[in-house]
Structure formats: C-alpha cells, structure tokens
Amino acid sequence: MQIEQLSAAELVKRIGTGELTAAQCTDHFLGKIRDKNDDNGAFLAQCDEQAADAAKQIDASIAAGKSPGPLAGLPVAVKDGICTAGITTTAGSKMLSEFVPPYDATIVSRLKDAGAIVIGKTNMDEFAMGSSNENSAFHPAKNPWNHDHVPGGSSGGSATAVAAAMAPVAIGSDTGGSIRQPASFCGITGLKPTYGRVSRYGLIAFASSLDQIGPMTRSAEDCALVMQTLAGHDKNDSTSAPVDVADYMAALEKPLSGLKVGICKQHFEEGLGEEVRASVNDAIDVLKTLGASTVEIELPYTQYGIAAYYVIAPCEASSNLSRFDGVRYTNRAAAENLEEMYSKTRAEFFGEEVKKRIMLGTHALSSGYYDAYYLKASKVRRMIKNDYDKAFESVDLILGPTVPTTAFKFNQHAADPLAMYLADIYTVAANLSGVPAISIPCGFDSAGLPVGLQLQARRFDEATLLQAAHQYQTQTDWHQRSPQS
Amino acid sequence: MNQTLETTQAQRDAVTDADVTLIVGLEVHVQLDTQSKLFCNCSTAYGADANTQTCPVCTGMPGTLPVINQRALKLAIKTGLALNCKIANYTKWDRKNYFYPDLPKGYQISQFDKPICGEGHLTISDAKGAFETRDIQIERAHLEEDAGKSIHDETGAQKPSKIDLNRTGTPLLEIVTKPDLRSAEEAKAFLTELKLILTYIDVSDCNMQEGSLRCDANVNLHIKVDGEKIATPIAEVKNLNSFRAAERAIGYEAERQLRVWKKDGLGIADAPKQTRGWDDANQKTTKSREKEDAADYRYFPDPDLIAVETTDEEINAIGSTIEYLPSKLRTELMESYGLEAYDTEVIVSQGIGVVTYYKTVADFLTKSASGSKSPGKTASNWVAQEVLRYLNEQNCAIGDYPISGDQLGELLARIAKGDFDQTRGKDVLAQMLENRADLEAAIEKLGIKAVDSGEVEALCQQIIDENQGVIEQIKGGKVQAVGSLIGKAKKLNPNINPNLVKETILKQIGI
C-alpha cells in the first residue's frame, strides 16, 4: 500500500513503531506536493526545510525511546490564514504577500507539540472571503475530481490537498461554511467545531464571532485524532471555552442505537439539486440501519441565516481588516501623504471581493444604519440560536445536505454573486448559532463529483458528530474513493 | 436642536458678565497603575527605548487576540467606588474604529454603552471660600486602551515620521463629568481633588509630565438675553496636561466665546463643535487642524472579548481595599483634632503619609500631659511649617523625614511644659536634623538645661538694676517695654523661659 493511502492514524502508528520514519513520510508528501501543485494549486507555500528538520527531531526522539506525541511524524497542511512562525502567511492576499509572522497560532503550537509536522500552507480565498477559491490573490486551487471545477472555499486549498493525497490531514477555518463546503465539493471529511472549542489565536480574523478552526481529513477517525489535539481552552483567546474535551477516539466505536436524528424540511426545499437530495436520502437510510431514528424538525429562522450572515460577517470584517493600512507588516503603496498611503495601499493590495465586503460592513456599521443592519442581524442570530436550542431538546443530531449542489465550474457565478452566496445556505446557521457541524462524503453525482452530508450537533458535542460520521463510514466507502488526479 | 434666538448687535452689546454662565464638562484620562498593558503582558513602564515594550498583540499583528488585565478592571472599580459611581454588574467591550498610524489595529478597544462605572459624584470645596462646596456629577467612567505615539520631524527637514508603540494598550480610565462646572477655579478644584483621591486610593501615579493624567474640557456659555437663554457653540479643548493649563484654557475660552458671540451672534445650533488646543507659550486656545465633519467611529461590540460580569460581593471586596479617602480624613482632622479648614487642607493635600505623621505628632502631644492647650493646632503648625519646608527643600517624601512623629511630639511636649521656648525648640529640631541626633542629645548639645527659680530671680534682679530707664517706662504704664528686657535676659542665659522672666520682673517691680 502506498504511503498516501494510509490513514493518519495508521501513519502515526507506523512511525511510532519505527516501521516508517517521520522523514520518509514527510519526504513522501513533500514529493506529492512538488508533483501536483503546479496542476492543482492547493499550496501557496511548501515548508521543505522546516518539515525535514522537524521530522529529523521526531525520528531522533523516537529512536531515543521518548514518548513521541499523539501525532508524532504526521504531516499536516495548514491553511494560509493561520500564522506560522517564520513561514510566510498571506491569508491569500497580496496585502500580506511578504508577511512572516513572528509567532505560531495556538493550534500550530499544539500540533507541533503533539509531534505533527507542518509541510505547507494551503491556498484560500483572500481573507477567507469566498466559496470557490477564485478569490485567492495568487491562483485558485482546483478540484481534484475535475480541474474545471472549483474546490470550494474558502479552505479550498486544504480540501484539495487532502483529496489529492498531498497531505493526510489539513487544517481549515470556517466562518460560514469554509471547511464544510470545500470538504463536500472535494469528497473529504471536514469538521467545524463549536464556537469556542478551538483557539482562534493566530487565525487571521475574517469575522471573529463566527470563525472556527477545524480539521479536514479523509475519514471521521482521522478527524477525531486531530481534533483531540486542536480542542481545548487557550488563555490567549478569551472566547475559547473552559469546557472539558471529550475522548473523541473512544466515542467513535459507540453504536448509534437510540440516536435521534432531526431532519429539517427547510433543507430539502427548492434549490436543492436532485442528485444531492438522492444521496442524502440514501445516507438517512444507512443511519437508520445503524439504529438511529429520524424526527422531522423545523428551524424556521434559518431561512434568514444568509441575510444575517452577510451583515454580521462584513461588519466584523470591515473592522478586522482595518489594521491592513500600510503602516506595519503589510505591503505599502507609494504615496505623497498619509491619507493617500492608506487609500492607495488598500486599493492596490485588497482584492475586489474583500473591498466589496469592507464597504458593505463599513456602511452597515455607520451611524444611522447600525440599528437597521447590525442590530437587526444580531437579533435574527439570536432567533436562529433559539431554533437550534429548541430542536436539540428532541434530537441529538440534525442531518441534511452540506451544499445544495456539487462543485460548480470556474467562473460559473462570476455574473451573479448572490448565487455564489447561496452555496452557504445550509452551512451559515451553524456559525451563527455556534453549534458544531461536520461534512462527510455521501455519494457522487452523474458527473463524478462528490456529494456532502452535513451533520450538526449540540454545542460542544463534537463526540456525537464524529461517532455518527465514523459509524456511517464503517458502512460506506465514499470517503475511501480517490480522484485520478 | 432649536434654532438659536436671533439677537441684534444692540442686544448683544448690552450683555454684561452677570448675564453669562460658564458651562464646563471635563473628560479626564487616568493611566491606571498596572505592571502590564490592558490586553497583553507587555510592561507599561515609562521611558523605555521606542518599541521595546511591544508584542504581537499590542502591535496588532494579524491573528492576535486581546485578553483583559484583571488588575486594571479592579483598579477601575476601585476608582468608581471612590467617586461614588454605580458599578456595573455587567460591562462589555466595544471597538471604536478610526485610522491613525499610531493605532495599530485600526480600532481602539473601549466601552461604549455599558461602561464599568456609571453615575457618581465628587465634592469640591474651597478652603478660602472662593466658591460654594458642592457635588459635581460624574456621568460615567470607562476603561480603554491607549494609542501609541507619533513622532514627527520638527526640524523642518521633512524626515519621515516615526511611531513608538510602547504606550499602545496602556490601560486608561476615562472619567467624564456632566457639564456641571461653572468656573475655571471650580474645574481646577475638581481636577485637584480627583488627583488627590486617585493618589489616596493608589490607582495611578498621576504623573502629568508622563501623561498619566490628561484632561479635555468641553466649554461653552449660556447667555441671558431678554429672559431667553442662548448657548454658544461648544469648544473641546484637548490635551490639557497641567491643572494650570486647564484653568487658563477654560478662562480663555470663556472670554473668547463671549467676544466671538458678541460679534457674530452664533449659537450652538449654528456652528459645529470645535476642537481646540491650548497654546501654553501664547496663553491661548487655537483651532485644531482636525477635520470638522462629525467622526463616525462605527462602535460595535468587540467579538474578541467576552462581557465581564461582577457580583456585588466582588465589588464590595474591592471597596474594602479603599483605606483612606481625603474627604473622610478632612472630617477627622477637623472634628477630632480641632483644625480649621485651611490647616486641614494643608495637611490632607500632602497625602496619606503626611496625614499619618501629623496624627502621630498630635496624638503624642495630646497624651503627653504637657498641658498643651491646643495640641492639634500646635502639631499642624509644626508639620506645615517645619516638616513640609524640609521635605520641599530636600525634595523628599515624608517616609524619608529623619525624625519620627513620636520624637517631634516629644519635642512639642517639652516646649508645652516650658522646658524651653518655641525658638529654642526650633534650634533643637535643626540640631536633630543636622546631626541626625535624638531629642535628648540635641538638647544636651545646645546646652539647654532647666533654670531653677533662684537663678531666674537673681537674673531678673540684675536686669532691673541695670535697666532703670526701661523699668520707669513700664511703671509709667508702657508694659510692653518688658519685651526688650526679655531679650537681654535671653542673652545672659539662653535657657531661661521668657514667660517666667516677664512674670518675675513684673512681680519684682510690683506690677
């Protein structure tokens, strides 16, 4: 069996026993990146030297009989919106094309402490704003199942990297669906944790109250393995929750009997692709055979999710992106005076979508509009949260499609940005309400593109998500299929 | 706002000072005395090399997040309690968005609609009675982070500006009064009392040179014209960095606004709020170059921080750490030590160290059974004159004063007993300071010893014999002439008690 076909759990096991060295494993994946990146653009940077050094240390430590850590030797690709000390971190923007952070994001430190090896930085929509990777300021990543199609976004590079077997595991971030939608488009497993479950320290903020970092892997089991390291309170992030972390690996093997799965009828109304609907319905049947029962539920306010999201996220973004002003650590446009320096820098180094959202947010927060936009959207958000709280009184999980369609073609939505925004229709509610959600592959359409199934759970109940996803994957092989490219 | 009443030139010319009321509100920024910044662990020490007290958080590096400094919160609550403010059980953080090169995140973390401290008041009074004692209402006090410093080239060589981010993120408490102050003197008194309170409760070093206490004043006039009130446009005078500057700037504004209004008649609704700066060299305020269009800071709740909830028990626990407040000490000195307002102020304005020292001296004197008739007043005279003069001359704090309160009390007791007079007493004190001597050693060194009654009588008889001319004058009714004889007696024996000399001479000549 080829190294890239092994699960993350298996790689860690073999490295731990000495059957495989961390150096061999790292070399192998770095080689894959070199082979494929020109074609699929998944990575913005490859960390050959740092990765080789780290692998050497892991191997030495294993040889010395020391405890190698739960992820010892595991190569990880990290989304380029997450800060890595000494490694250029661009967030997909020309603004930060020269930015080398002096510090590691908390999750990067945690991964390194667990023995994982950062092998590269993955492509993304600029500042995580986008659903197709077309907003990367450098080049888009391509869907490994068909290079004419987008990999989704904003964590499209991470999804491509895992689907194309350039990394066994990738880290993404999800503000309105940015882990789950590309996971769905690329046929992999992607978890958006509960808001506050994983530290955001070091994640270049898009919308702070919605952003969460999470794992993108081939299987739910790998997802659980990595999540065990990512999760937990961080004193550097006040919004990270001091809630105990469950044993995710132990939860995987529990049977699903007695599990109540809510089916939200709003997720199956118009706009949902027929092939997606069919695959999701098949998935429901699989879960039933595993002992789960289904209950029809309603989430009436989620229909306003997209509207609320496209107010709140740009508002926060307009403020979060103010620091990119040409004074420190960004690129700077030549100018005669301060005001010109600000405007030229921001005009030249921000992309169109980013500028559009900054303007939307700035407008919505301005005096006289705040109540009608930000405040109203915040109220809607609370209603959506209430919907979820009520639903989870009677069900353990909520099941539905991740995205209404499979991966669309490049430029397909160029003329209609609203159609692009609707790609987030089933995913934004989890960010607005803070609940965890996972996307797992559940089939393919007639064009051979993957379909994603979304499961959502109570806040801080990632264990049940991973359990259901894993049990589903014991009965299906969608997650084991690989694209030709 | 309503249209300003239209006035004629003649009406305006007829306005006198009696028709004009000065309206002043203050915004005071207090740097809280924390070791580290409001949202990161960098030091707040003043005067370090530029940009050496910075980290990814306070330089606004992408991806970094703020974490609240708990001590800053406690100091803010303590200050609020000392200012009689309602402390919020629920407070949150908001972003104030604006672009400025020394504001690294492009927004300042502040508090908009849920400040840590709500309404309160501070009592101002004037020991000399220049204005009536009254409460100045405080609208709110909120926590926020300071910005950095822009350093512009002032040589005219147009060198690039530089930015020092050491100050960025330093915790500030912004205290906002209602427009309650009615004169420049009242404003100065408010600031003086505020600084005194902050010093007593030990929340800030209040060092104005280093910017630990900075003040903005909102000033306008209410002018009565034919029974109607007209308000002049508000001027905000920024960055007043001394009490004197605040007092003068407000006085100047009062004069300027009246002069301008008499010329143009414009009211608050006719002209925008102006930002002005105080020009200390020319003793006047000048219009700032800032743009006049109303700034829109786009406040919204900071999603990176969680709201702070504080229970009444926690607030009370912080309140119990307030040991001394100047107002309580004033009452104590006046009621228990019998001091007048003026003398009280001299002592209390020096801070808790001097107050405690004073009380030690006065208490010692009271308990000494020396017969002192007004120990409180005597102790205050000596502390205010002798001790404070020494501290000023030596530029040192009361803790460094070489003589303990008990020793000074003992010295005053000896004077009260009549062992030696006040002038000799000052010689003793000088001796103690100069040679770091204790009381007895100083007395011995000066050769002071008790003079027995036989010696006094013999000496007085000698003086009577040698000064018959003066004695005749006294006998003739000019009793005060005895003073010159006392001087002669002291020359003959410096240890002699002048009162006793006077008494004895008068007795011996039969008066």
- Residue B129's pLDDT is 85
Q: Which of A217, A231, A229 is nearest to A69 (CA)?
A: A229
pLDDT at B290: 62
Q: Which of B60, B65, B163 sits opposite A323 (nearest CB)?
A: B60
Question: Cβ(B396)–Cβ(B403) under 8 Å?
Answer: no
**Shortest Cα–Cα distance, A201 to chain B (Å):** 6
Cα dihedral: B475, B480, B483, B484 (round 10): -60
Residue A1 has pLDDT above 90, yes or no: no
Please confirm, yes or no, whether A178 is among the known catalytic residues.
yes
CA dist A431 and A397 (Å) reads: 16
pLDDT for position B217 = 97
- Asked if B263 and B345 sit in the same domain, the reply is no
pLDDT category, B292, cuts 50, 70, 90?
low
| Percent with pLDDT over 90 in chain A | 95
- d(Cα A215, Cα A462) in Å, to the nearest integer? 12
Listed in order, strand segments (DSSP E) in B246-382 are 274-279, 284-287, 300-301, 308-309
Task: Name the amino acid, one letter, at B462.
Answer: Q
A94 catalytic? Reply is no
Q: Domain of A212: which CATH number?
A: 3.90.1300.10
Asked if B21 and B167 sit in the same domain, the reply is yes
| Closest residue of chain A to B301, computed from CA coordinates | A316
pLDDT exceeds cutoff 70 at B4: no
- Total beta-carbon pairs less than 8 A apart between chain A and chain B: 100
Q: Distance, in angstroms, between B156 CA and closest chain A CA? A: 16
Please identify among residues 243-272 of chain A the ones whose CB lies closer than 8 Å to any CB of chain B: none
B321, part of any domain: no
Tell me what the mean pLDDT of segment A169-173 comes to: 98
Per-residue pLDDT tens digits for A45-86? 999 999 999 999 999 999 999 988 999 999 999 999 999 999
Residue type, B376: G
Q: Do B63 and A99 touch (CB under 8 A)?
A: no
Is it the case that residue B490 has pLDDT exceeding 90?
A: no
The answer to whether B383 touches B429, Cβ cutoff 8 Å, is no
| Residue reference for tokens 């011995």 | B444
**Has residue B208 been placed in a domain?**
yes
Kindly report the average pLDDT of chain A as a whole number: 96
Domain check: are B351 and B211 in the same one? no
Indicate the number of domains in chain B.
3
Element holding B230 (H helix, E strand): strand B228-231
Q: Residue A229 domain-assigned?
A: yes
pLDDT score of A435: 98
pLDDT tens for residues A398-450? 999 999 999 999 999 888 877 788 889 999 999 999 999 999 999 999 999 99
pLDDT for B192 equals 96
Q: Which of B69, B304, B308 to mutate to test the interface with A (most CBs of A within 10 A)?
A: B304
Domain assignment of residue A281, yes or no: no
Please tell me the total count of domains within chain A. Answer: 1
Other beta carbons within 10 angstroms of residue A406's beta carbon come to 27
Mention every residue, 6+ apart, whose C-beta is less than 8 A from residue B37.
B43, B44, B58, B69, B145, B168, B169, B170, B171
In a domain, B4, yes or no: no
Q: Does the annotation mark A79 as catalytic?
A: yes
In a domain, A279, yes or no: no
Chain B residue numbers with beta carbons less than 8 Å from the beta carbon of A381 are: none
In chain A, which residue's Cα lies nearest the Cα of B67? A238
Quick check: pTM over 0.90? yes
Q: Is residue B496 part of a domain?
A: yes
Can you give the three-state secondary structure of B214-229, one letter per residue?
A: EEEEEEEEEEEECCEE
Asked if the ipTM is above 0.90, the reply is yes
DSSP annotation of B201 reads T
Residues B306 and B333 both lie in one domain: no
Residue scoring higher pLDDT (B425 or B2)? B425
Write the pLDDT tens digit of every residue in A340-395: 999 999 999 999 999 999 999 999 999 999 999 999 999 999 999 999 999 999 99
CA-based angle A321:A403:A310, to the nearest 5? 30
Residue A8 to residue B461: CA distance in whole angstroms: 116
Task: Please judge whether A204 and B62 are an interchain contact, meaning their C-beta atoms are less than 8 angstroms apart.
Answer: yes
Name the band, by pLDDT with cuts 50, 70 and 90, for residue A326: very high
Chain A neighbors of B67, CB-CB under 8 A: 235-238
Cα–Cα distance measured from residue B422 to residue B390, given in angstroms and rounded to the nearest whole number: 18
Of the pLDDT bands very low, low, confident and very high (cuts 50, 70, 90), residue B293 is: low
The answer to the question of residue A415 being in a domain is no
Distance CA A431, CA A69 (A): 31
- Give the pLDDT band (50/70/90) at residue B501: confident
- Cβ neighbors of A147 (< 8 A, separation 6 or more) are A39, A40, A485
Q: What is residue B447's predicted lDDT score, i.e. its pLDDT?
A: 83
Domain membership of residue A408 (yes or no) is no
* Cis previous bond, A154, omega within 30: yes
**Does some domain include residue A440?**
yes
Please check whether residues B191 and B108 belong to one and the same domain: yes
A323–B305: do the CB atoms touch at under 8 Å? no
Among A93, A132, A136, A154, the active-site one is A154
Distances (CA, A) of B229 to A40, A282, B2, B225: 75, 79, 12, 6
Q: Do residue A315 and residue B300 have CB atoms under 8 angstroms apart?
A: yes
Residue of B nearest to A96 (CA): B62
Check if the beta carbon of residue A311 is closer than 8 Å to that of residue A374: yes
pLDDT of B40 over the 80 cut: yes
Answer yes or no: is B416 within a domain: yes
What pLDDT score was predicted for residue B291? 57
**Interface list for chain B against chain A, based on CB atoms closer than 8 Å:** 56, 59-68, 95, 97, 99, 101, 104-107, 163, 296, 298, 300, 303-306
Which of B445, B461, B478 is where one domain is finished?
B445
Residues B181 and B222 in one domain: yes
Least confident stretch, A456-465, B358-367, B438-447:
B438-447
In DSSP terms, which residues pair with B237 in a beta bridge?
Answer: B217, B276
Q: Does A372 fall in a domain?
A: no
Residue B236 and residue B273 in contact, taking contact as beta carbons nearer than 8 Å: yes
Residues 6+ apart with CB under 8 A from B291: none
Can you give the pLDDT at residue B431? 93
Query: How would you class A279 by CB atoms within 10 Å of its CB: exposed for 0-12, middle for 13-18, buried for 19 or more?
Result: buried
* Parent domain of A80: 3-260+436-480
Rg (CA), chain A: 21
Domain that holds residue B75: 9-312
- Mutate which of A201, A354, A431 to disrupt the B interface (most B C-beta within 10 Å)? A201
In a domain, A218, yes or no: yes
pLDDT digits (tens, 9 = 90+) for A172-231: 999 999 999 999 999 999 999 999 999 999 999 999 999 999 999 999 999 999 999 999
Please tell me if residue A482 touches chain B, with a CB cutoff of 8 Å: no
Please indicate whether, in this complex, the C-beta atoms of B62 and A82 are within 8 angstroms of each other: no
Are residue B98 and residue B161 in the same domain, yes or no? yes
Give me the pLDDT at residue B1, please.
Answer: 44
Interval B306-315 mean pLDDT: 98
Output Rg (C-alpha) for chain B, integer angstroms.
31
Instruction: Give the active site residue among A32, A79, A121, A192.
Output: A79
* Contacts (Cβ under 8 Å, ≥6 apart) of A162: A77, A168, A169, A170, A186, A188, A216, A217, A218
Band of pLDDT at residue B488, cut at 50, 70 and 90: confident
Per-residue pLDDT tens digits for B327-348: 999 999 999 999 999 999 999 9
Residue A146 Rama label (left phi>0; alpha psi -120 to 50; beta): beta
The DSSP symbol for B5 reads P
B475 lies in the same domain as B429: no
* Domain end call among B445, B479, B500: B445
Q: Are residues B340 and B406 in the same domain?
A: yes
Compare CB distances from B64 to A201, A338, A370 and report the shortest one's residue. Answer: A201
pLDDT by residue (tens digit) across B216-264?
999 999 999 988 999 999 999 998 989 999 999 999 999 999 999 999 9
- Does A367 contact B107 at a Cβ distance shorter than 8 Å? no
Percent of chain B with pLDDT over 70: 98
To 10 degrees, the CA torsion angle through A63, A66, A72, A73? -20
pLDDT at position B181 is 97
**Interchain proximity B107–A200, CB inside 8 Å:** no
